[in-house]
């Protein structure tokens, strides 16, 4: 494995001497930085880093590749803790319906939305799904993502859910990205179960979960707990059943209403609750000191033209906030985490330091990989971005639409 020395780094961002799992409240506006820095990568890991004033070329292996990062920033690669990037086809037709004024719930109620993708999923080939998803992964690497969580949930039948999860397993093996998988059998209620959705919940619990666990296909379990989708009771039943297989929840909550999703997630020690447009004082109280990462998905709120989660209120109350892409064909057809950072700043009034914490440390925690990724720390995986020459961290959310990443390094290897 080749070793790297990155020298003359204008600013080395998000350094960490001792591991802290996530940052919360007013600490989110703090970002550890070393200006004029170097960093050494060995065997795929961060070996050491420091200030150029202490740099001496002799201390490094002679065969190390040296990168001059003058005028450039080096950061941990983004961790995207919420995506649905295995899907059969775009849903641009619904997009026009949305422009004409149909709501997300209206589109879902007439069999569009998630059910539209689920119909196509039944006949999609595993190889095609894999190839399309690999392309999407290449694309997000170019935008600086180094780790990604991917959900099932466009299958909604035993076979198709397993098919999606097997595709994710292949992606884990084939891609240099760090990938986590979530089983989301309870993403929508199939038409044939409308009016008797507890029978679909039975299917998720009695047939899907055991099969997923038997093949060890999922790292986490997810439920869409919201109006028109799964109730608090459904969610409680599924999460209880999943716990027997050791599956920790990461759930969709409070996107469409005060659904109780946040509270039921916290009760089940969810690693994260995601969306959170409808978050009030009770929800904030439930989240405080819970260990559950509140995760906002700006792409979906923007694309669906919905209310924005109260990020500032949450941080003022002392909560951490994570930002993820929600890359999916229906409500957020982009996995560009730099755009998510710009949305974080413009739409949620988050400072550049806050958005960087929200897409590195806090998303690493939200996907259970904070001990290996999310910061520049000795011994962590060398998943890094080197920016183009840019003035400073403010430029990252400021220059929306522009790719500020020049080089992505995964496992210590420069990705071409
Ligand atoms: N809100 C629920 N699920 C997805 C939407 C998926 C879709 O519309 O295909 C989301 O996170 O936005
Ligand atoms: Zn989602």
Give the pLDDT of residue 147.
Answer: 99
CA of 114 to the centre of ligand 1 (A): 7
Nearest ligand, CA of residue 253?
Answer: 1
> In a 3-state reduction of DSSP, which class is residue 327?
coil
Q: Is 207 known as a binding-site position?
A: no
Mean pLDDT of the 297-319 span: 97
Please calculate the CA angle 52-58-60 and round it to the nearest 5 degrees. 80
Q: At residue 111, does pLDDT exceed 80?
A: no
Do residues 190 and 115 make contact, with C-beta atoms less than 8 angstroms apart?
yes
251, 265 contact by CB (below 8 A): yes
Give the range among 58-72, 112-126, 178-192, 340-354 with minimum mean pLDDT: 58-72
- Is the CB–ligand 1 distance for residue 130 below 6 Å? no
Out of 104, 119, 187, mutate this one to test ligand 1's pocket (max ligand atoms within 8 Å of CB): namely 187
Which residues of the chain are in CATH 3.20.20.140 domains? 78-367
Please tell me whether 345 is known to bind a ligand.
no
Query: Which pLDDT does position 1 carry in this prediction?
Result: 62
Percent of the chain with pLDDT over 70: 100
Any ligand 1 atom below 6 A from CB of 88:
no
Mean pLDDT within 338-357? 98
Does residue 358 contact residue 297 with C-beta atoms inside 8 Å? no
Consult the annotation and say whether 82 binds a ligand: yes
155 marked as part of a ligand binding site:
no
Long-range contacts of 277-280 (CB under 8 A, 24+ apart): 277/301, 277/306, 277/307, 277/308, 277/309, 278/254, 278/307, 279/254, 279/309, 279/310, 279/313, 279/314
To the question of whether residue 2 is assigned a binding role by annotation, the answer is no
Instruction: Determine which residue's CA is closest to atom 2 belonging to ligand 1.
Output: 224
How close is the Cα of 349 to the center of ligand 2, in Å?
22
Q: How confident is the model at residue 152 (pLDDT cuts 50, 70, 90)?
A: very high
Ligand having the closest approach to the CA of 112: 1
pLDDT score for 361: 98
Question: Of 13, 20, 8, 54, which Cα lies nearest the Cα of 34?
Answer: 13
Atom of ligand 1 nearest to the CA of 332: 12
Distance CA 376, CA 401 (A): 26
pLDDT tops 90 at residue 112: no
Stretch 272-280: mean pLDDT, rounded? 98
Question: Minimum-distance ligand to the CA of 328?
Answer: 1
CB atoms within 10 A of CB 142: 13
Q: Where are the alpha helices (DSSP H) in 124-205?
A: 126-142, 158-174, 197-203
Average pLDDT, the chain: 96
Give the CA-trace dihedral at 347, 249, 258, 87, to 10 degrees: 60
Residue pLDDT, tens place only, 216-264: 999 999 999 999 999 999 999 999 999 999 999 999 999 999 999 999 9
Instruction: Count how many Cα atoms sit within 13 Å of the Cα of residue 248 in the half-sphere of its side chain.
Output: 17
Question: pLDDT digits over 13-45, tens only?
Answer: 999 999 999 999 999 999 999 999 999 999 999
Residues 6+ apart with CB under 8 A from 173: none
pLDDT score, position 108: 79
Residue 355 scores a pLDDT above 90? yes
pLDDT at 347: 98
Task: Give strand ranges (E) for 87-229.
Answer: 145-151, 178-186, 220-225
Of 200, 166, 168, 207, which is closest to residue 186 (Cα–Cα)? 200
| 8 Å CB contact between 259 and 232 | yes
Q: Is the pLDDT of residue 353 over 90?
A: yes
Given this model, what pLDDT does residue 107 score?
Answer: 86
Question: What is the reported pTM?
Answer: 0.97
CATH 2.30.40.10: which residues of the chain? 4-77+372-414
- CA 332–ligand 2 middle distance (angstroms): 9
Q: How far is the CA of 406 from the centre of ligand 1 (A)?
A: 31
The reply, when asked if residue 336 is annotated as ligand binding, is: no
Q: What are phi and psi of 167, to 5 degrees?
A: -65, -45
Place of tokens 């990989």: 369
268 annotated ligand-binding residue: no
Name the closest-CA residue to atom 4, ligand 1.
Answer: 331
Apex 273 CA angle, 257 and 408, nearest 5: 125
DSSP string, 300-363: HHHHTT-PPP-HHHHHHTT---EE----BTTTB----HHHHHHHHHHHH---HHHHHHHHTHHH
Round to the nearest angstrom and report the end-to-end CA distance of the chain. Answer: 16
pLDDT at 58 exceeding the cut of 80: no
**Ligand 1 atom showing the smallest separation from residue 154 Cα:** 9
- The response to whether residue 149 sits with its C-beta less than 6 Å from ligand 1 reads no
Domain 4-77+372-414 sits in CATH at 2.30.40.10
Residue 320 in contact with ligand 1 by CB distance below 6 A: no
Q: Which residues contact 110 (CB under 8 A, 6 or more apart)?
A: none
Both structure tokens of 196: 């008797």
| Residue 209: both structure tokens together | 């979960």
Query: What phi and psi, each to the nearest 5 degrees, are found at residue 252?
Result: -80, 125
Q: Is 326 in the pocket of ligand 1 (CB under 6 A)?
A: yes
Which residue's alpha carbon is nearest to atom 6 within ligand 1?
330
Average pLDDT rounded to a whole number, residues 311-323: 98
Residue 109 has pLDDT above 90, yes or no: no
Topology given in CATH for the domain delimited by 78-367: TIM Barrel (3.20.20)
In this prediction, residues 297-305 reach a mean pLDDT of 96
Question: What does the alpha-carbon distance between residue 191 and residue 196 come to, in Å, rounded to a whole number?
Answer: 10
CB atoms within 10 A of CB 46: 22
Instruction: Write the residue with the smallest CA distance to atom 12 of ligand 1.
Output: 331
Q: What is the largest CA-CA distance in the chain?
A: 72
């Amino acid at each position: 494995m080749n070793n790297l020395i990155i020298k003359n780094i204008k600013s080395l961002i998000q350094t960490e001497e001792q591991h802290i799992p996530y940052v919360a409240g007013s600490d989110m506006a703090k970002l550890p930085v070393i200006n004029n820095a170097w960093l050494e990568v060995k065997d795929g890991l961060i070996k050491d880093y420091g200030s150029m004033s202490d740099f001496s070329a002799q201390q490094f292996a002679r065969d190390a590749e040296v990168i001059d990062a003058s005028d450039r920033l080096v950061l941990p690669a983004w961790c995207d803790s919420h995506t649905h990037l295995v899907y059969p086809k775009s849903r641009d037709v619904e997009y026009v319906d949305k422009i004409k004024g149909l709501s997300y719930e209206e589109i879902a109620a007439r069999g569009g939305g998630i059910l539209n993708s689920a119909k196509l999923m039944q006949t999609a080939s595993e190889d095609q799904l894999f190839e399309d998803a690999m392309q999407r992964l290449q694309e997000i690497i170019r935008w600086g993502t180094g780790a990604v969580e991917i959900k099932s949930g466009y299958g909604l039948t035993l076979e198709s859910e397993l098919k999606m999860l097997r595709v994710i397993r292949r992606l884990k093996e084939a891609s240099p990205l760090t990938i986590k998988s979530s089983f989301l059998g309870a993403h929508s209620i199939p038409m044939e179960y409308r009016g008797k959705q507890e029978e679909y919940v039975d299917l998720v619990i009695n047939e899907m979960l055991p099969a997923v666990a038997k093949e060890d296909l999922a790292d986490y379990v997810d439920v869409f707990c919201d109006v028109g989708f799964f109730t608090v009771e459904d969610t409680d039943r599924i999460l209880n059943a999943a716990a027997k297989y050791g599956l920790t929840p990461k759930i969709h909550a409070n996107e469409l209403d005060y659904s109780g999703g946040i509270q039921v997630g916290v009760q089940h020690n969810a690693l994260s609750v995601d969306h959170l447009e409808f978050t009030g004082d009770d929800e904030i109280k439930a989240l405080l000191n819970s260990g559950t990462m509140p995760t906002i998905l700006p792409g979906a709120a923007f694309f669906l033209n919905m209310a924005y989660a109260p990020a500032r209120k949450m941080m003022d109350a002392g909560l951490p906030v994570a930002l993820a892409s929600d890359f999916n064909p229906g409500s957020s057809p982009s996995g560009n985490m730099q755009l998510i950072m710009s949305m974080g700043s413009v739409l949620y009034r988050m400072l550049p330091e806050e958005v960087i914490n929200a897409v590195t440390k806090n998303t690493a925690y939200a996907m259970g990989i904070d001990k290996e990724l999310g910061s520049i720390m000795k011994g962590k995986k060398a998943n890094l971005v080197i920016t183009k020459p840019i003035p400073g961290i403010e430029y990252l959310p400021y220059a929306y639409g522009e790719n500020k990443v020049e080089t992505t390094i995964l496992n210590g290897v420069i990705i071409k």
